[in-house]
């Protein structure tokens, strides 16, 4: 098995360029530095590992109990040697001192974000990431677009439990804590797509709380964000449902299916039917119809969908926990409208199995959102 270990030694030469046998290829300014520290420790560890293993095996063989040696064990071999003890305490002490120093040095640099970093605010919630670009007024979900060669600073918080944002290629990670801000910075050095994981356990779909970091050269980056900024403004009302399905639904997908299977939350399939008819039952025993009477809160049924997105804890659907986070402040008005329309027109958007239909026919779709009524 230690074959692996020796393989790694062979690869040592590449260490300083980041990556190598032990590490994934690096794509940020700090990656190479972190890898250097890693391989420094690695070399020391190989040495001590080899030393201990060699001594262990050598002694075990050399001093094997001879068959006729079952009695008369000698009592003269030395039982202590203080200079030796001191040597093997002080040498490792010195070495760990160096390790500590290198690690601290790198860490402190990892910790101080440059003044002019490009800001992104990040919200983690079960089980998706939302990235907001204040400079462009753009919100992305599941994908983070960042410029190449410019420091980027993430200011992160969580709206439910702990999460942790981890981008292996950049060698950065920080916990995302509810009720508090934490931050992280990096400067990407290679364009491309990199994986982003949630690395702090956060419940059921922890392992699906993934995202992609999209590193684009400066001009492309600006073009892309400009496009995203105008994205929904340019859309015809009639296209909003499709827009919601392709661009927004991924934030709901971890809990709401399209094929009728219930997950953490009820499926979107058939949801509108239930809502329209007021048959949805809540945990407190009431049904939606109770609130739909004239003058009631949901006289206009669309308002119930809206309310579910903004104040999910108000009415908890029977057989489910109040696990849905609020999207208040994370979706613009028009995006909420789009979601409402999507749910209303679900039957036209997806087929029986819940697969999106290519260019669905929305010619006669009901595109009233209930607002203003």
Contact with another protein (CB under 8 A): which of 11, 97, 217, 283? 97
Q: Residue 283's binding partner, choosing from ligand HEC, ligand HEA, another protein, none, with beta-carbon cut-off 5 to 8 A by kind?
A: none
Q: Is 256 in the site for ligand HEC (CB under 6 A)?
A: yes
C-alpha pair distances (Å), 210 with each of 127, 141, 199, 256, 340: 8, 10, 10, 17, 25
Closer of 209 and 339 to ligand CUA (Cβ): 209
Size of the site for ligand HEC (CB under 6 A): 26
Residue nearest to ligand HEC (CB): 265
- Closest to 209 (Cα-Cα) out of 127, 130, 143: 127
- Provide the 3-class DSSP secondary structure of residue 34: helix
127 binding ligand CUA? (CB under 6 A): yes
Distance of CA 129 to the CA centre of its chain: 6
Give the residue, chosen from 20, 147, 241, 265, that forms a contact with ligand HEC under the rule CB under 6 A: 265
Options 30, 252, 338, 362; binder of ligand HEC; rule CB under 6 A: 252
- Rule CB under 8 A: say whether 48 interacts with another protein: yes
**Stretch of residues binding ligand HEC (CB under 6 A), selected from 11-19, 43-51, 187-195, 248-256:** 248-256
Subset of residues 107 to 136 that bind ligand HEC, contact rule: CB under 6 A: 126
Distance CA 70, CA 5 (A): 38
3-state secondary structure of 315: coil
159 or 189: CB nearest ligand CUA: 159
Distance CA 263, CA 8 (A): 44
Q: Which residues bind ligand HEA (CB under 6 A)?
A: 44, 48, 52, 92, 95-96
Centroid of chain to Cα 161:
13
Q: Considering only residues 33, 140, 200, 337, which one is a binding residue for ligand CUA as defined by CB under 6 A?
A: 200
Q: Write the secondary structure of 127-176 as one string of H (helix), E (strand) and C (coil).
A: CEEEEEECCCCEEEECEEEEECCCEEEEEEEECCCCEEEEEHHHCEEEEE
Of the candidates 196, 132, 127, which has an alpha carbon nearest to the alpha carbon of residue 161? Answer: 127
Tell me: does residue 309 bind ligand HEC (CB under 6 A). yes
Which residues of the chain form contacts with ligand CUA (CB under 6 A)? 124, 127, 163, 198, 200-202, 206, 209
């Amino acid at each position: 098995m230690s074959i692996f270990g020796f393989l790694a030694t062979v690869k040592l030469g590449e260490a300083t360029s980041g990556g190598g046998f032990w590490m994934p290829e690096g794509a940020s300014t700090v990656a190479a530095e972190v890898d250097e520290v890693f391989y420094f420790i690695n070399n020391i560890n190989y040495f001590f590992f080899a030393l201990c293993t060699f001594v262990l095996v050598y002694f075990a063989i050399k001093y094997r109990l001879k068959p006729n040696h079952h009695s008369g064990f000698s009592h003269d071999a030395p039982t202590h040697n203080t200079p030796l003890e001191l040597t093997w305490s002080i040498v490792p002490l010195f070495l760990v001192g160096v390790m500590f120093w290198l690690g601290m040095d790198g860490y402190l640099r990892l910790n101080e974000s440059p003044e002019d970093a490009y800001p992104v605010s990040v919200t983690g919630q079960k089980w998706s990431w939302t990235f907001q670009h204040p400079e462009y007024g753009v919100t992305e979900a599941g994908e983070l677009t960042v410029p190449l060669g410019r420091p980027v600073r993430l200011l992160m918080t969580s709206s439910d439990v702990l999460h942790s944002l981890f981008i292996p290629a950049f060698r950065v990670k920080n916990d995302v804590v509810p009720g508090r801000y934490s931050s992280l910075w990096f400067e990407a050095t290679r364009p491309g797509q990199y994986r982003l994981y949630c690395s702090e356990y956060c419940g059921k779909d922890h392992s699906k709380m993934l995202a992609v970091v999209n590193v684009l050269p400066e001009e492309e980056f600006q073009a892309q964000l400009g496009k995203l900024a105008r994205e929904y403004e340019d859309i015809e009302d009639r296209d909003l449902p499709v827009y919601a399905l392709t661009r927004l639904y991924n934030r709901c997908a971890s809990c709401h299916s399209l094929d009728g299977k219930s997950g953490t939350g009820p499926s979107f399939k058939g949801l509108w039917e239930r809502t329209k008819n007021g048959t949805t039952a809540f945990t407190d025993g009431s049904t939606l119809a109770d609130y739909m009477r004239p003058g009631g809160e949901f006289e206009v049924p669309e308002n119930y969908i809206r309310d579910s997105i903004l104040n999910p804890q108000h009415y908890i659907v029977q057989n489910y926990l109040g696990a849905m986070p609020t999207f208040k402040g994370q979706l613009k008005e028009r995006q909420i409208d789009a979601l409402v329309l999507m749910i209303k027109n679900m039957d036209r958007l997806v087929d029986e199995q819940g697969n999106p239909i290519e260019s669905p026919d929305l010619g006669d779709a009901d595109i009233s959102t209930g607002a203003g009524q």
